[in-house]
Structure 1
Amino acid sequence: MAVLHFDENSFESEVMKSDVPVVVDFWATWCGPCQMIAPVIEQLEADSAGKYKVGKVDIDKQGELAARYGVMSIPTIVLFENGEPKKKAVGFQTMDQLKATLGI
């Protein structure tokens, strides 16, 4: 499975109603740290083994979603469980740091 791309239309079904935890990367194309963490996000998805989903929200195209979840800096990676944001990581992090911060 590949990293998913969420928008206002898919967020409800893919994240809020997901039966597994969902890691959401709030990012933008112009953001250097977002580009740096992209391979980490892709590897996180590759390591998920169906235990969780991984997706991205482009804040320039989905500003309302970013505002709804209090995204003030990017990248912001949020772990959603049962439709609720549970843990958050802000800024570039290595794979080990990100997994420890999110508890996955």
Structure 2
Amino acid sequence: MKNLIKNVTDKSLEDYLLNCENYVLVDFWASWCSPCKALSYVLKEIVDEYDKKLDILKLDIEKNSDSALKYSIQSIPTLILFKKNKIIDKNIGSLSKEELKIFLNKYIK
């Protein structure tokens, strides 16, 4: 069974973060953002490697400005790693697959 990357809204993100036991990586993006599209492909490449340890969510900041404000998203793409509704780490800008794995492997064993 493929682990899916889920699209979330302001409301569903909040619910997800409150109820998820896994690490949660949230990709804050917008449809007009080229680096966001590149990062999307990288996320699809790693999703299965972190199956059962990490949930990946995508939040379109154009349609969900409350979350962008709440988490002080200044530029996109921004990745925020959460555990039990707490921010563990943040990365601003696009990453290669290797860079993303280094970022995640600091926390996810």
Query: What is the TM-score with the length of structure 2 in the denominator?
Result: 0.88
User: Retained in 2: the 8 A contact 1:26–1:57?
Assistant: yes
Q: Which residue of 1 aligns with 2:67?
A: 65
Q: Which residue of 2 aligns with 1:76?
A: 78
Distance 2:18 2:43 in 1: 20
After the TM superposition, list the runs of 4 or more consecutive aligned residues in structure 1 that deviate by more than 3 angstroms. none
Instruction: Pick one of 49, 59, 67 that aligns with 1:47.
Output: 49
Shift of 1:12: 2.2
Shift of 1:48: 1.6
Instruction: Pick one of 12, 17, 24 that aligns with 2:19.
Output: 17
Q: Which residue of 2 aligns with 1:86?
A: 88
Aligned residues, how many?
104
Structure 2: 5+ residue stretches without partners: none
Instruction: Give the letter for the 2:55 counterpart.
Output: K
Query: What is the TM-score with the length of structure 1 in the denominator?
Result: 0.92
Q: Which residue of 2 aligns with 1:28?
A: 30
| Percent identical | 31
Which whole-Å deviations, capped at 9, do the CAs of 1:43-92 have from their partners, x for residues lacking one?
A: 22222221110010000000110110111010000100110111011111
Distance 1:15 1:6 in 2: 11
Pairwise CA RMSD: 1.2
